[in-house]
Amino acid sequence: MTKKAWGGRFSGEALDWVEEFNASIHFDKVLLDLDIKGSIAHADMLAECGIITQEDRKIIVDGLHKVKEEADKGNIDWDVTHEDIHMNIEHALTEIVGPVGGKLHTGRSRNDQIATDMHLYVKAQVEEIIQSIEALQKTIIKIAEENLHVIMPGYTHLQRAQPILFSHHMMAYFWMFNRDRARMQDALKRIDVSPLGAGAISGTTFNIDREMTQDALGFSDLYHNSMDAVSDRDYIIETLSNINLVMIHMSRISEEIIFWMSEEAKFVTLSDTFTTGSSMMPQKKNPDMAELIRGKTGRTTGALMSMLMLVKGLPLTYNKDMQEDKEGLFDAVTTVRGALKIMNGMIDTMTVNEERLEQTINEDFSNATELADYLVEKDVPFREAHEVVGKLVLKCINSNQYLKDLTIEEFKEANSLIEADIYDVLSPQTVVDRRVSYGGTATEAVKQQIELAKTLI
Ligand code: ARG
């Protein structure tokens, strides 16, 4: 039987299927580099504080580099007997440098060690995610600027509501992603905190210097309570929650793109790269990537729910339940990073079908509010105007035409205040460009919005 790091007080046999269940090495091996980084900072600090000698420090640090080198070459046999990444590395280290490797764990526990690894991991990943969101926002601005002249139907209840600029619609997502980025940025304050030196629960009798390891690892702050340091998983919950908002926003735009790609809408065409065909139906071009982003949102939500349930009712301080904080998080991080990259490419290469949108916007009643407002400006009470226009819409539906097709006589019959300028008033471009209120869809207002957006990324 392989000797265990904690084997001293044990005499009973170990069963491989129990070890298998207990182990986390299958998934926590992705923390290898960060764990070694944390160990080097710890060893340096131990030597600096006179807790181990400089000679031992050198042997340990060189040994840790060697472990990394061998691991990168695939020469290390990760073993469930050594449970997790920490004990597998320590085992590999002592194989290389001998018993002096056993001095590395002085004044440290796996509890503050794993917390340190996870803080480093979450910090690095959140920084990457922030970059990817920013890249996506730039692409949104690009497509918004390129299509400033394109008008499309805006929907409420998925019924045509009022004409809007395609750019205005896209820019709505810019702001959602901007909030996501801000949330991630804000969370960094709570992620970027060093738990190292908290020990198992209560600190350590050794005269360690926690600020030294904090600085060496690039953390901006440190935990002020050792029990909180090893128990806190808020930053993981918060990160999962933030990841989920990004995913939820991407699922919404995915759903819109799926609809826009449909034969019924045909508002946009996705590039071949971001679509797939059907094994049976030769004509198909399916928006699989958008569907997958929509689908994967369920998966990341699952990770958030698991994490919330994991921490619920968990007493202080470390409990092995906490080992379960990793797989869902790792998966959610990989998923959101993949989805952001796909979304960026998909939008960047999407073709906006101007002609189809032009036809669409001229064949609906999304200018009906405009006619009502026109009458209101001529002092007709809004309710009365609403009724007049409603009747005209019904008349058009029954005769298979649109408001712009009505003759001036027909308009006058409905209300004598309507003049020939109504045709211009009803044109989609006029409808859009009269919405000059701040944040509105008028071309000028959208341009202003885009200019502001550019200053934020
Ligand atoms: N593999 C463990 C985890 O991921 C590391 C901490 C183990 N600590 C302990 N006291 N068993 O949570």
By most ligand atoms within 8 Å of CB, the mutation choice from 89, 201, 323 for ligand 1 is: 323
* Residue ranges per structural domain of the chain: 15-106, 111-148+164-208+219-354, 359-456
pLDDT, average across residues 303-312: 98
Ligand 1 centroid distance, CA of 110 (Å)? 6
Ligand 1 centroid distance, CA of 150 (Å)? 56
CA triple 260-263-265, angle to 5 deg: 40
**393-418 tens-digit pLDDT:** 999 999 999 999 999 999 999 999 99
**74-114 tens-digit pLDDT:** 999 999 999 999 999 999 999 999 999 999 999 999 999 99
Q: How long a stretch of residues is the chain?
A: 457
* String of DSSP letters for 126-166: HHHHHHHHHHHHHHHHHHHHHTTT-EEEEEETTEEEEEEEH
Q: Is the ipTM of this complex over 0.95?
A: yes
The span from the CA of 69 to the CA of 84, in Å, is: 19
Written as six digits, the tokens of 407 are 């003759």
**pLDDT grade for 11, boundaries at 50, 70 and 90:** confident
Question: Above 90 in pLDDT, residue 27?
Answer: yes
Whole-number CA gyration radius for the chain: 31
Q: Whose CA is nearest to atom 4 of ligand 1?
A: 323
Q: Three-state DSSP class for 182? A: helix
Q: Which atom of ligand 1 is closest in space to residue 326's alpha carbon?
A: 4
Q: Three-state DSSP class for 53? A: coil
CATH code at 111-148+164-208+219-354: 1.20.200.10
CATH topology of domain 359-456: Ribonucleotide Reductase Protein R1; domain 1 (1.10.40)
Ligand 1 centroid distance, CA of 98 (Å)? 24
pLDDT, average across residues 1-7: 73
Contacts of 167 (CB under 8 A, 6+ apart): 143, 144, 145, 147, 148, 150, 446, 450
Between the CA of residue 226 and those of 35, 110, 184, 310, 347, what are the distances in Å?
19, 13, 25, 21, 47
Ligand 1 centroid distance, CA of 322 (Å)? 7
pLDDT, average across residues 323-343: 98
CATH code at 15-106: 1.10.275.10
**b/e per residue 279-314 (b: at least 16 CB within 10 A):** eeeeeeeebebbbebbebbeebbebbebbeebbeee
Select from 406, 355, 405, 317 the least CA-distant residue to 109: 317
Instruction: Judge contact between 164 and 187, C-beta under 8 A.
Output: no
Instruction: Judge contact between 339 and 332, C-beta under 8 A.
Output: no
Identify the pLDDT of residue 2.
Answer: 65
pLDDT above 70: percentage of residues in the chain:
100
Which residues contact ligand 1 via a Cβ below 6 A? 24, 28, 84, 110-111, 114, 318, 320, 322-323
**212-258 tens-digit pLDDT:** 999 999 999 999 999 999 999 999 999 999 999 999 999 999 999 99
Residue type, 364: D
Catalytic residue ranges: 157, 278
CA–chain centroid gap for 277, Å, is 28
Written as six digits, the tokens of 140 are 């949104």
